[in-house]
Structure 1
Amino acid sequence: MSNPPIPADAPFDQPSADIVLRSADHVDFRAHRVILAQASPFFADMFSLPQTSPPDASALPVVDMSEDSKTLRRLLLLCYPVDKQELDSVADIAPVLAAARKFDMEWPIRLLARDLDASLSRSPLHAWACACRSGLEDVARRAAEEIKRRVSSKAAETEDPDPDSCIALLPTLRAALEEEGLTDVLQGVSGGAYFRLREYVREASPLFSIGPGSISAVADEPPPERIRPGFLPPYPPPDATILCSDGVLVEAHEVIIALRLPGISIATPGQGTYTLDAPSTALVDILTLCYRGKSNAPAHGTDIDGLACVLAVCEKSPMDAQMFNAPRKLWDKCVQTDPFRAYLAAAKRGLGEEDVRVAARKTLAITLLGLYTEQLEDAEAMVYERLLKYHHDASIAVVGVLAQEGDNWSHKLLGRFRIHDNFPETALPMTPARLIKDATRKLSVGRYAPASSLEVMGIGVSTPIEAALQEWRSSCPSETPKKYSNMIRDVLWDMDSTLRRGIRGVLDVARLALQT
């Protein structure tokens, strides 16, 4: 038996009240409809509908709220002509702002936005995240400016100026996020907003914006209300409809649903109406498998998110193995050709951990720095951050392999030379070590992908050999024995083999740290 509700303190205990708002923790706030209706179109619409009378004629109608008493009290104080409670921390502002947005309260939102703006100097990262979740563009932009200023100042204390100094700000940004609590900050923020913050901090973008700008200006056409797929036979006519997650009704046959999709939910028993937690585009592909045994998906194979949704539905609903193999094979191909989007789609649609991990592993061959896809707008920032962290950890592992070989270069070459002659160490060509050092620096800041080939990083065996021999010829007498040139080649070939084995080894053991 639940505990009886507790009356709220003044001013929400007045006998003139005509409505009770009951918080999630069972505190009753006696309120006035006229004030709530003026403050919130949501309440105005609700009160305009016919109201059911409470069992006790003397009792006030009760509206159960999902907000706790602390949040609800702070929100109501903003609506009433009384002294307002000062909110100076993002932790206090955020839940009240979320509730004000939920109930479309324009004036409280404006007041809370002002409070949030005032909190920037105390916690810019949390203020930025709260502004992003609330759609407060101006506050989010000013918070991003403060974040960039602090990150730049912090990096200047520890980093030496170099050509990639702006990119080098990103590890400092991550450190700041980790100090504040990655999950706490990024919870509810889109991957697109987080991408734009990173781009702004590293000065790849002149301004920060919550949304994608011109991309969002292109409005998608609303889906049709009802679809009869073209592959359905003309006779017998469809006798069932499937309501999809995008509100579209797709026509089909009861017998096909019973045989091929026995796990589908029945919305209206006996009336042939079913429900499926998938968009209509994905359902059409599923029905193609059911009716034809193959999918039309290759014709629009770039819809990786739709394909991931098909797989998720197929895994939940019992299907013939032959039908399931068709989208699975196409998915495997998409992972190879576009692993970044495949990773985001797999995480969004709740595919198995192994699907997410395999896609993430394939992304190691591509550079994430500055890489954008519209799917980031629907992805969670933490999903994107986990992939960034995975790349960071893999890059650090590869940097270790490169650094070790770069340090060993001169020792290996000198050891080979000393076998034959007492050759001075000062005459050794150092170009290969410098090339490795440059590749290491670029890899550490994300200019190279962790699984980039040695050729892409400019240290494939032919490049160091040519550079070392050129340096050797320019610094040594013309009568220098040819055997030394051959020794340089031998050492560099050995180094190339060691690098490739070492990089394969560290990447094979790299794993994406998934969080639930």
Structure 2
Amino acid sequence: VANAPFNERDADLILRSSDYVDFRVHRVILRIASQFFRTMFTLPQEPASREDIQIEIVDVAEDSDALNCVLRMCYPVVDRPIPTLEIGRSSLRAALKYEMDLAINLCKTGLRGFAASQPLRLYAVACTFEDDEMADFAAESLRLLQYLRTGRKQGFIYTSPTPSAHVSPRRTVDDPPTSCLTDGTVDDPPASCLTDGTVDDPPASCLTDQNADLVIITSDRMSIPVCKAIVTLASPVLNEMLQRPQAIGDNLNPDSESVKKQNQSIFRVPEDSKTMEGLIHICWPAGVPMSISVRWIPRIFMVARKYKMERAMWILQQQWKTLATMEPLRAYLLAASSGWKEEACATARALLSQKFSHIRDTYVPELETTPTGPYYRLLLFHKACGDAAAKVNPQLLDTWTCNCGANWKALHVQRISRSLAIRPSASVFNNETMFGELLQDMGSCFNCQSKLTHVLSTHATYGRMVEEATAKVCFARSSV
């Protein structure tokens, strides 16, 4: 028997792998995640040949490694990294076979992780599945595309056979892609996660499922019909709450007319409908996880943490990391206005790598809706860190002298102090402009130039000293 979550007693179907490992699964999840199984479950089923068989067993051609990998991608649990390229290839083949859109995208993302270590084998896998995007990605890792574009006039020729019955004609990179795979990833969320997208219009597969057996009533009195099996698998907290005897009296209302008519249970939550809709969409096993509007990420994440929904937390963290990297000021204002204190502090320190004037002059939409307090405290924090960094004693260059006088040392120290005052970060020492000015100031003195390695090593030391100095500056977390 497979490991959790494929060993649950309430499972209503067993998938038996080619190496005879039984996966106890739930039909409701497979029906939502896979068009193949949705169609299969609608077909007439033969009765069991023996009366003692309590659950149907379906033999599949995939081994346990591939089956475990692709099923975990469909279940509302944390996905594990694809361990090997072979398992990733088998999992992608299974996802395509069973028409699992979400698993297809996650398999593609996982396979791209092998580009650095096994680019040629990844390229062969991409050609096998006619995936132009993955093939280009693998080729770029070895700079093959650059060589072929400059060294040959013809395009990039695919020579591996396709998995279809017939052999497709040779194609080049100039031809339009014909892959049936979509270009989705969870490591790099779509651009829409950095825009003002909304969860006001959720997909119908989540909110209008006719087989929903649980209705979540939000604080704004909106009803969200869901499948109880998916909710309980996604959240151990909600699973416990739904099983408590006192929860039945407090939250469930089996006497409701709508409940009697549709055979549904009612469960009330203190969160609003937009927050719960966004959270449920992330955990839903059908399709690619939707991109949540950035202004909702902190609120939904805190609710996901409350209910211990690890998969939702992981997906939201990936979107947040992208936002914090590309638009740190916007991320800071969102975190601060939502009471997300730890993330606000981390983003405030990340903003130290930007100039004070750049932060002050940058406009983002959140400035219109965020109270002035967090923004004002960010500027004060940046200024305080700048003062602390400028006081770091840059005297390590005085450990040696030169017959030319080495006047460039004083100029270089002044530049460092000025730069640290407005950008108190170790990234100052990685500035190419500063390095070019340093070489220019050294002039033609061979003795000074021979000390360049020593100067660069002192930069690393200065960088650590600056980080230590700014770390001592306290950010007003309690007032965020």
Same fold (TM over 0.5): no
TM normalised by structure 1 equals 0.42
Q: Which has the larger radius of gyration?
A: 1
Larger RCO (CA within 8 A; separation ≥ 6): 2
TM-score of the aligned structures, taking structure 2 as reference length:
0.45
